[in-house]
Chains A and B, each alone.
Chain A
């Protein structure tokens, strides 16, 4: 983590409004309307899930720090706001984003090692020729206007841990909520501290069961949320409630300058992630992408 978020390139150039983001994507798609009608691709939200999970798989293979993986997630998202998916080999982009992010977060891997691991994960899409990754790194940096520092919500979470006297279970749950938010567009839409506050609220309101730091919060949260996602807001607004911890959080929020509306919107986005996750079918995404890439021989 370096530099100041408020003057960062992340805040100045890579924070979108929902409308702007949709517009940018529409514009990219427009030129390929024919291709889209011939070979439709999965919904953006499903693709988000797919790419994030593929990237996590690569990260896990190489036991990478969460921070580097998170940065790679952002690189992929940024890249696809400027390039149309159909003109790329997404697996090469994922690999390159990972390779570059590791260098950025000071835990570099050798290019051969990265290519080797990516190849064993996606043998149909990654060639052994390492120069492809080198070229793609170059393109990735160029598309991102060489703005490479990314601020993540994890740091805010650890800073607030003692202020809000969060239990280690709550921190673990909030941590996995943050992991999950990389499966959505949220990192392009809201500041990292807003995401962190959202994760804390979810963690405090829904009593954590057992979650590990590296997993997703989905198993423990989906069911709870399905029972009534509005519970969060009810719980927060319930002044006379018998939950002093929640009250403490509410009064802290009221005194802070955090944009509460944004926090609420983030929460809703996350709730809908857990909803759509139930329809998600990895195999289906994989097949569609496979057809897309094979059709164009993009993997060569």
Chain B
């Protein structure tokens, strides 16, 4: 930023006082565009600088960064703690900003800050503070969740858990989704590694980088959301107008995965994902899902591969550990037609929660060491990515036409 020496000098200003005046100009000018921090000697001169930066500095000084936990394409996550209390841990997610501000802040960063600032629920990761650091990066101070995530527990064969544990986890997930939908927010990336676990066993929904508010009627949204294995058929068919039902499908997939301990429908490509869903749940037709053939990317199944819509028996057979009531609940989350899928509040009122076994108390849920590292990886990852597999099925691209 160029600094002009031609500051209007009034006769009343003596030459001695123009110097600080000038410095002040520089400092405040810089702050107004965010560059003030590069002049270390100036801030002291200027009350405005203090006012503008003091709050931010106060927040920044509240925390100490300890060590790096994970790094992704989009963020670096540090373990940190409160300066005043070294036992109060936090996770600090530093969002990488392009050094030259070439493209402005990414939509992910904006969305994450936007929603976490307003949402507050025991089953949603808390955003304690936001501050900017010296190198002009955005830092989100997030709740410390050392218990890792559900994916870690599902994958570890040495961990044993039962129906009561699944019920407890699903209960916490269902409440977080209900809260999001009640506040008109779609999460759009529900999957086991976005379900982090606090030290007391509480499950917390994290990563709001793909979240958005319900669109106004008839406005299009992107269908390129939700990690593939958890993506509902309407999005795979390219629906541009959809509802909270997309999150419910993902929830159903998490439920199935908790029961089976492997992803239930894990396609290698979007097309493969559709055909796996067809094979598993039945082929979408105009009869069982009015309007499906009009969706932009609808592909009709080959005649010999048409599978009738699966009923209760199928779910009971596939998921015996859920019990008949549990299988029924799962079935209601996996309806192909999004209009027939249960809503989050219907799910919470389902009979399954009231019958035996009662959900495990959160303190008694199975846990596994090594969760801190996992939290770091999870928080650093960009939404919509799967880590494993030969094909990185990244869905995220900044596509300005599809973003709406």
Contacts and interface: CB of A to CB of B under 8 A. Distances in A.
A141 B6 contact: no
A188 interface: no
Contacts of B316: none
With most chain B CB atoms within 10 A of its CB, the pick from A3, A111, A300 is A3
Given A137-B101, A146-B138, A300-B2, 17 more contacts: A2-B183, A2-B213, A9-B118, A103-B107, A106-B215, A109-B400, A111-B102, A134-B104, A136-B32, A137-B105, A138-B132, A138-B138, A145-B55, A146-B117, A149-B114, A296-B29, A300-B1
18 contacts: A3-B118, A83-B52, A87-B32, A87-B48, A104-B110, A107-B404, A108-B400, A131-B101, A132-B33, A134-B100, A134-B105, A135-B101, A138-B105, A142-B132, A143-B52, A149-B117, A296-B4, A300-B4
A168 interface: no
Nearest to A83: B32
Nearest to B140: A146
Interface string A106-149: 11111100000000000000000011111111110111011111
Interface stretch (B7-15, B263-271, B386-394): B7-15
Minimum-distance CB pairs A-B, first 7: A134-B101, A297-B4, A139-B34, A2-B213, A3-B118, A87-B28, A146-B130
Contact of A131 (B102, B113, B138, B215): B102
Interface string A12-55: 00000000000000000001001000110000000000000000
Interface of A: 1-4, 7-9, 31, 34, 38-39, 82-84, 87-89, 92, 99-100, 103-104, 106-111, 130-139, 141-143, 145-149, 295-298, 300
A89 B115 CA distance: 29
- Select the residue from B52, B98, B214, B403 with max chain A CB neighbours within 10 A: B52
Nearest to A139: B34
Given A131-B100, A138-B34, A146-B130, A3 B2 contact: no
Q: Is the interface of B mostly helix, strand, loop or mixed?
A: loop
B13 A34 contact: yes
B118 A149 contact: yes
Interface of B: 1-4, 6-8, 10, 12-13, 25, 28-29, 31-35, 47-48, 52, 55-56, 97-98, 100-105, 107, 110, 113-115, 117-120, 130, 132, 136, 138, 183-185, 212-215, 221, 400, 403-404
Contact of B185 (A2, A31, A298): A2
A142 B34 contact: yes
A3 B104 contact: no
A134 B103 contact: yes
Contacts of A1: 184, 213-214
A138 B113 contact: no
A3 B184 contact: yes
Given A38-B10, A111-B104, A106 B34 contact: no
Nearest to B105: A137
A142 B120 CA distance: 21
A79 to B, nearest CB: 10
A48 B132 CA distance: 29
Nearest to A93: B32
B104 A133 contact: yes
